[in-house]
Amino acid sequence: MTYTDRLLQKRLADLFAHFSAVAVVGARQVGKTTLLAHCFPTAKLITFDPLVDVMGAREDADFFLANQPEPLILDEIQYVPQLTAALKRRIDAGRRPGRFLLTGSQQWQVIRNLADSMAGRIAILELDGFSLAEIAGHAEPWLPLWLDRTLELSRARRPAAPVQPLEQVWRGWLPQAQQLPPGLLGDFFDSYIQTYIERDARLAGDVSDWRLFYRFFRLAMALSGGEIVPTQLGRELGMHPDSARHWIAMLEATFQWREIPPWHGNTLKRISKRSKGYGADTGLVCRALAIPDPDSLVAHPRFGAIFETAVVNELRKQAAIMPAKPAFYHWRSHAGMEVDVILEYAGRLFPLEITASSHPDSAKAAGIRSFMDTYPNQSADIGLIVAPAGQPYALNENTWVMPWDATIESARPR
């Protein structure tokens, strides 16, 4: 299989040049092991198993590490929690960069313990499925340039071979899903969900009813792109809201779910207090909704929410390469006006509206106008409407349309 360059490669190399250990975390099958093996081909790779004690690492973690060469890749370290203390002792005995590379599929106790106990020794990097820039073969995304205010929006361009929105959103972003014929994708996602439940979910939390958890997983994916109400989830499945909250937290801990909190500002009582939730992969979302092919996607009543999920995840992937990442929010007033994403960065606010329409008009900018009118004293930048448009264009002096798969021809101060 041909390797696809990842946006995080340079940041990974920079971190490993300055930290004793780097942990690459993310959902299963997003390419963590492939990334490390490609970037560090001479490092020994050891993959751990939930059932087998590979090379006695659980029985005697110190002895295991003492007999391995460095640099060393420790794959799926969540299966060997005994390594946490042993790694700290070994690193403290010789503080130098570039020693250990770790992967993990859960933000649970092992990764948290690594971060807490090895502060200053370990850097943690989160990897998602492919981004649009990676699929199109382009290295530089537009979001960091826009946030740094060095992007002339008119010079953004779609790639020479533009990504087809329906096909890509339906297929999703997991590396293996890019290689499969459409007729096999359903089997792939079913197997993915089964393996996730049997391994990641079982290890991450207390789930006594696996059939109910499977239904919960599918329901959460089906609600991607909307405000999440645990009481609604519980009512739909006949479970207590506290259990629904616990399972949502489990989906987040295993990188299958993301939430964006509301923007409060100075008018807290007038703004919705509910977070919006997003499935980490639109292929899984489409499978949960039983959408059989890309043509069926555009007619589906959840199409707009699914496209929003794809764009929000794309924004997160582009932001991940930045040394200082923006904070993500959404905004909705009780009057019904809303902005899908508000990015807070360097003391400024950057509003983004997302639409599946290929030719957004000024009506799509109503939420952005309302947000700016509500917060006239905030340092708000011009707004963007991210859409499957053919080219960037200005709707008005405060709002531009940005193609969802834009690439950058050049960057100049705007």
pLDDT of residue 52: 93
Just give the CATH number of 9-126. 3.40.50.300
Phi-psi region of 361 (alpha: psi -120 to 50; beta: other; left: phi over 0): beta
pLDDT of residue 1: 65
- Contacts with 319 (C-beta within 8 Å, 6 or more apart), sequence order: 143, 144, 147, 325, 326, 328, 343
Residue whose entry in the numeric block shows the structure tokens 């990442």: 325
Rounded Cα distance between 241 and 243, Å, is 5
341, 343, 348, 349: CA torsion to nearest 10: 10
pLDDT of residue 412: 40
Report residues of the chain scoring pLDDT below 70: 1, 107-112, 115, 138-139, 160-162, 206, 266-272, 409-414
Give the Cα-Cα-Cα angle 333, 334, 335 (nearest 5 degrees): 85
* pLDDT digits 0-9 by tens, 2-32: 899 999 999 999 999 999 999 999 999 999 9
* pLDDT digits 0-9 by tens, 208-244: 788 899 999 999 999 999 998 888 888 889 998 888 9
> Over the chain, what HEC string results?
CCCCCCCCHHHHHHHHCCCCEEEEECCCCCCHHHHHHHHCCCCEEEECCCCCCHHHCCCCHHHHHHCCCCCEEEECHHHCCCHHHHHHHHHHCCCCCCCEEEEECCCCHHHHHHHHHCCCCEEEEECCCCCHHHHHCCCCCCHHHHHCCCCCHHHEECCCCCCCHHHHHHHCCCHHHHCCCHHHHHHHHHHHHHHHHHHHHHHHCCCCCHHHHHHHHHHHHHCCCEECCHHHHHHHHCCCHHHHHHHHHHHHHCCCEEEECECCCCCHHHECCCCEEEECCHHHHHHHCCCCCHHHHHCCCCHHHHHHHHHHHHHHHHHCCCCCCCEEEEEEECCCCEEEEEEEECCEEEEEEECCCCCCCHHHHHHHHHHHHHCCCCCECCEEEEECCCCCEEEECCEEEEECCCEECCCCCC
pLDDT of residue 110: 63
Cβ neighbours of 306 (radius 10 Å): 24
191, 193, 199, 200: CA torsion to nearest 10: 150
> Over 188-249, what HEC string results?
HHHHHHHHHHHHHHHHHCCCCCHHHHHHHHHHHHHCCCEECCHHHHHHHHCCCHHHHHHHHH
List phi, psi (to 5°) of 265.
Answer: 65, -145
Rounded Cα distance between 341 and 146, Å, is 14
Strand partners, 339: 331
For the chain, the structural domain boundaries read 9-126, 132-408
Rounded Cα distance between 25 and 21, Å, is 13
pLDDT of residue 411: 41
pLDDT of residue 108: 60
Q: Are 58 and 82 in contact (CB under 8 A)?
A: yes
Structure-token pair, residue 231: 């009481």
pLDDT of residue 281: 98
Q: pTM here?
A: 0.92
Structure-token pair, residue 13: 């190399």
pLDDT of residue 199: 82
Rounded Cα distance between 256 and 279, Å, is 6
Residue whose entry in the numeric block shows the structure tokens 């009118």: 373
